[in-house]
Structure formats: C-alpha cells, structure tokens
Amino acid sequence: MSSIEEEKKQHIVTNVHPILSGDVMSARVENVRSQLEWEPSPEKSGWENFVDSFKRVNVEEIDPNLTIAEKIAIKTARAPLKRRLKNRHLQMIAIGGAIGTGLFVGSGSSLRHSGPAGVLIGYFISATFILCVICGLGELAVEFPVTGGYATYTTRFIDESYGFASNWLLFVGGVSTLPLEMVSASITVNYWGTPKKYRDAFVALFYVVIMGINLFGVKGYGEAEFLFSAIKVTCVIGFIILGIILVCGGGPKGKYIGGTMWKSPNGAFVGNSGAERFKTVITVFVSAAFAYGGVEMTGMAAAETENPRKSIPRAAKQVFWRIAIFYIVALTLIGLLVSHKDPRLIGTSSADAAASPFVIALVSHGIKGLPSLVNVVICIAVLSVGNAGIFGTSRTMVAMVEMGHLPQWTHLNYIDKRGRPLVALGVMAVFGAIAFIAASPKEGLVFTWLLALTGLSTLICWFGISLAHIRFRAALKAQGRGTDELCFASPTGVYGSYYSCTVIAIIVGLTFWTSLWPYKTAPNVSDFFESYLSAPIFLIIYIGHKIYRKNWKIFIPASELDIDTGRRETDIEQLKIDIAQEKAEIATKSFITRFYYWLC
C-alpha cells in the first residue's frame, strides 16, 4: 500500500484531513489568515500603501495527489477573505437582502392576482419552510465557514454535477440582479415625474454608489448594509403602526375599515371556483421566494465573520422571525387597506413605485407626504438588494473558480490584501452596465427577461441548501459521528430539511402547471418562460455536466463525504466540552429564558 493510501486510510480512523494532520492544516490556514491582517506600512507613502493593497494574497499550492473533492474542500476553506463582519452586520445583511422591492412593490402584484387571503397563505407557508432552510444553513455555515457558503455546500455534500448546475444558476441570476435592481431604481424615480431621458443619469448614480461601497471591502459593505437595512426596518415598523391606526378608523378620513376589503364585492380570493383560487394562490409562491430571497446571505457571509459560532446561529433564527413578522403583519394590513381590484396595482412594471401597495394604502386613506418618503425607502431598498447581489455573486465566482466550475485563466478568484475579490467585482461592474438600457424603448423587455432569469433560481438554491444539510447529517451517521460535536445543531433538525425539500419540490411542480396553463390566459411560450426559465436552464446544465463527466451517481456516498476539512473548530473533544458546559449553564435558567435561547 502506498504512503498516500495509508494516510487516506488513517483519515477514516482519525477524522482529520488526509495528507495534512489537523494541527498542520490549522497552521497552514492560520498562515493564510495572518496574511489577511495586512496593514499599511509606515515606511511607505500613502500612494505606495494604496497600490500595495491591491496586490494578490498568495497561498500555498495544493498537493496534486489529492482528489478533486479534497482540493475543493481545502481551497474553499482557506480562501483569503477578511473576517470583519460582526453579529449586527449579519443581522442586517440578511434582513436587508430580504426587505426590498419584493415586499414594497412586488407584493402588489401578488395581491392583485390572488387576493388578500391568497397572499397570506402563500407568504406564510413560504415562511415555514424558509425557517427550516435557514436553520439547516446555519448549522452548515457554523461548521464550514468557507468561501461561497451555500454555493460550496451543494458540490461538497450532494454531487459535483448538482453543485455545478446550481452555481451556474446562481451566477446567471446574480449577474442579472445588479442591472435588474438599478433599472428598478430608475423606474422608481418616475413617481416624482422624472423625465425618461434622465433615467441613465440615475442609473449612473446608483452604479457608482453600489460599486464604490463594495470597493471598500467587506467592512464597508457591512456598514452600508447596516444603514440601509435600519432605514427599511424603520419604514416597515412605522407603516405597521400607522396601518393599525388606519384600519381602526384613526386616519384623516376617520372611517373604520376593519375587514371590509375581504368581503363582497372585493373578496378574500381571486377566482370563482376552488380550482381557480388554488391556481392563483400557487402563483404567490414564486413572488414570495423573490421577496424573501436574501435571507440566505448569512451563509454566504460566514467566511468573513469574526466569530461564526456565536454570530450565525442567532442571526439565522432571529432574522427569520423578524422578517416573518415584518412580512406577515405588513401584508395583513395591506390586505385590509387596499382592494385587490384597485387598478393602480397593475402599474407600468414590477418596479413601478406607483403600484406599491404601501404607497397606494397611504394615498387612498388621505395621508400626505409619507407616500414620497416610502418611495425614497423603495429606492434605498433597491440599492440594498443590488449591493447584496454584488457581495454574494462575487463570492460565488471565487468559489466557482476554486471548485473548477469556472476556468482558472479568468482569475476570478483573485483576492487582494484587503480581502476584496477584485476581478469578480470587475465582472459585476461589466454586467451592471446592462442597466444603462433604462433610457431605451426596449427597457421593459430587458427588465422582464432579467427578472425571468432570477425567478425560480431562489427556490432551487433553497432546495440545494436543505438537501446539502440532509446529506451532511447522513455523512455524520454513516461515519459513526453524532450531532454532539456540532457547534450549532439546527432546531428544526434533519426532518425540517426534508420538509423544506418536499414543499419546494411541490411548489416547483405546481408552478410548472400554472406557467403552462395560466389563470385566464391561453397557454403561450412567452408567459411560460417568463416564470419558469430558471428550471430548464438548471436541468440542461445538470444533465450536460453528467454527460461530460460521465458521472452517473445522484449523490456522493455518505461514507465518502469529507466532514472535517474547513471546520473553524479543529479540536472536536474540546468543542464537545465547551458545548456541554454552555448547555449546562442554559439549563439553570428559567423556562422563559431557555425558550428564548431555543427560539432566538
């Protein structure tokens, strides 16, 4: 038996990475981390330090004798990204990514197509499986805070072909998000009667702001997102308070509203028969996925977090509850204040602020001044989502190069001494230039197809996260390991991930039905691909990769999965002691305190 084979055999027994022992691997990763703590040299001029900061951080070569999976695990574990994000940044990054045009504007389309009850059903069911997705992602992100986050987990724990297809879908959707959001912002300013010829000027302004923020590195991104999200959350809370007052009859018109919008002639649902109502409710799920999209950013940011073991579990649970409350309460009030038959909900596009149910609710009930303020917040929301899109997609590109899903000659994994993926940011800047189509007559067509590229991709991404969590738990069991060695075990467990996978699969299947046979519209190719384009793209890439690699396995066998490389905590025995001590301390608390720790 060769020395390499002997070392791989030893890996099964000792549960450390083959070739490198746990101590050696930790030392080499720490060597990379020490390079990250780059500071300007007092012996150099300011210009020299500025130029020096853009130089690439070099890391050691990977042992060529390792397998592809082993190389990927090491590369993504030691990528030289800065660890500057704190818990408050993580909280706001996830909230900021999820509270955007999907809530402020897109919810109006959902209300028009399904009625107030249909909106609540779709968003509530979506919230239940998103809880399971985020908890499973939190468990993986705490154990493996690696480059690319969930973009890496699908390749590592499911199958290379699945990861390849999923990552390319994330890449296509990500590079579409930036121009999509900037075009949205340019449409939003139409609320104040801005001439269309000035749209490119607004695109240029938003373009410079978003790219400038990301050039300040992860710390600049975190601070900007913290500010953006604080503004959005304040707006939603303010609307909830005002909405309750209006529903109770405390508005300028002094009329009690209550549940009148749910009664005839408006009604709680759209459609006359049960089948028609069911079909309209199904259409809400894709809109809800687009609106909730961004909550998974906690997993993407794990590699750049100071203490993922402490920050990510709280962020994963608290962010879910905050967003669910914001959405469910706000949309309940929207359904009470705005009729789903209101013609203003149609708007000129899915980014038209005049079609925002938040703006319509305030205008309809005699509130002056605040509609313009909400419109400003919508512009900030658009910037925030575009900002999060650059952050997530640039890190995805780095991971894709490390995993071999993008060619090395692209240098998209270039990370400078300040931890910025410069080449990836440059690619995002190039694709962002598509947004200058805003002043063109073809703007609406471009916007529609950019939106189509991001449609189902969020649901497919969430399915991959939950499936990766299921496979990770299967690997623990197959290799004689237990959840007692985990820093954070998902409160919803592996059954929660099974639930989310099942519900998402059902939604994707039913969406195929509603896309092929839309409500009140004859079947047509255009409508089908506008809502279902992401699914065939995923299948084509997945099957194509299977054929190219001649890899016919659906899953990597659980016994062969590497569940050690890339872990932030390398001393498993000490970790078990620490976790047991923490649990013992929590057990001494009151029931309310213990329940809060479990919930939040």
pLDDT digits (tens, 9 = 90+) for 508-522: 999 888 888 887 777
Residue 18 has pLDDT above 50, yes or no: no
| Residue 34's pLDDT band (cuts 50, 70, 90) | very low
Q: Which residues pair with 56 in a beta bridge?
A: 416
Burial level of 563, CB count in 10 A (0-12/13-18/19+)? buried
pLDDT at 238: 92
pLDDT per residue as tens digits for the range 422-465:
888 888 888 888 777 756 666 666 666 766 677 688 889 899 99
Within 10 A of 22 (CB to CB), how many other CB atoms are there? 17
| Residue 55's pLDDT band (cuts 50, 70, 90) | low
pLDDT per residue as tens digits for the range 367-415:
888 888 888 888 888 788 788 778 888 888 888 888 888 888 888 888 8
Average pLDDT taken over every residue of the chain = 77
What percentage of the chain's residues is helix, strand, coil (to nearest 5)? Answer: 70, 0, 30
- Quote the CA–CA distance of 93 and 16 in Å, as a whole number: 33
pLDDT at 572: 67
Query: CATH classification of 66-76+86-569 is 1.20.1740.10, yes or no?
Result: yes
pLDDT at 49: 62
pLDDT at 165: 92
Residue 56 makes CB contacts below 8 A (sequence gap 6+) with 414, 415, 416, 417
The amino acid occupying position 85 is L
Residues 250-283 as b/e (b if ≥16 CB within 10 A, e otherwise) read ebeeeeebeeebbeeebbbbbbeeeeebebbbbb
Return the domain boundaries, the chain: 66-76+86-569
- Quote the CA–CA distance of 215 and 213 in Å, as a whole number: 5
Burial level of 442, CB count in 10 A (0-12/13-18/19+)? exposed
The angle that helices 422-432 and 160-188 make with each other, rounded to 10 degrees, is 50
| Residue 539's pLDDT band (cuts 50, 70, 90) | very high
pLDDT at 249: 86
Q: What's the whole-number mean pLDDT along residues 173-180?
A: 80
Tokens for 139, please give them.
């468990």
pTM for this prediction:
0.82
Within the chain, how many helices (H) and strands (E) appear? 24, 0
- Sequence length of the chain is 600
Whether 180 and 388 have beta carbons less than 8 Å apart is answered as: no
